[in-house]
A and B are shown apart, each in its own frame.
Chain A
Amino acid sequence: DSGVTQTPKHLITATGQRVTLRCSPRSGDLSVYWYQQSLDQGLQFLIQYYNGEERAKGNILERFSAQQFPDLHSELNLSSLELGDSALYFCASSVASLGHSTDTQYFGPGTRLTVL
């Protein structure tokens, strides 16, 4: 158990709909990262938040948005869903980025999104 929680575990919805995925980081971690993993694909970095502010952006579509709240939990909003958005969405957290090393990221169990 990494200490990162994600809800829901599974989500089935229809094209055109909007969903919200939730992530609670490990206690004390300030950074939250969102990733998309399609079937047989690698991890696609979407976005990172640090202490409530956007820190880095990856291949995140304009239909997707995220935020990190004062209690450090984060939500990933996916709208106008398409069939191709079906994937496993992981949240990861880390302490902070200081010095010459990069933080270890602790991944949650993921949310499996199926768009029908």
Chain B
Amino acid sequence: GQQVMQIPQYQHVQEGEDFTTYCNSSTTLSNIQWYKQRPGGHPVFLIQLVKSGEVKKQKRLTFQFGEAKKNSSLHITATQTTDVGTYFCAGTSQINAGNNRKLIWGLGTSLAVNP
């Protein structure tokens, strides 16, 4: 079946270090979304990427969508303690890019930041 693999599962960094999480799909994606879930909270939408090779930035966060639309990454520059949480990617497979837009979720990367 369609799968979205996300690595690493966990990452501990010192405050100020950079962090990257990667998302790889077994099928070509129509688009990919990123969500952040703070400890004890609920997932919150961060961004959506649609175009091949697309790069979007939100302050210290950089999101990329691969040229083949099968992978994506989220890079955080100079992490802060407020970045702590689990980052999920979720993609819509192109073969489902009709009325049945089921998101396929990665298992998430949990980020811990040591002050």
Contacts and interface: CB of A to CB of B under 8 A. Distances in A.
A56 B45 contact: no
Given A56-B100, A100-B30, A45 B44 contact: no
* Most-contacted residue by chain A among B42, B48, B102 (CB, 10 A): B42
Interface of A is mostly: loop
Contact of B101 (A44, A103, A108): A103
Interface residues of A, number: 24
B103 A45 contact: yes
B82 interface: no
Interface of A: 2, 41-45, 48, 55-56, 58, 90, 92, 97, 100-110
B97 interface: yes
A48 B102 contact: yes
Interface in B26-60: 30-31, 33, 35, 41-45, 48, 50
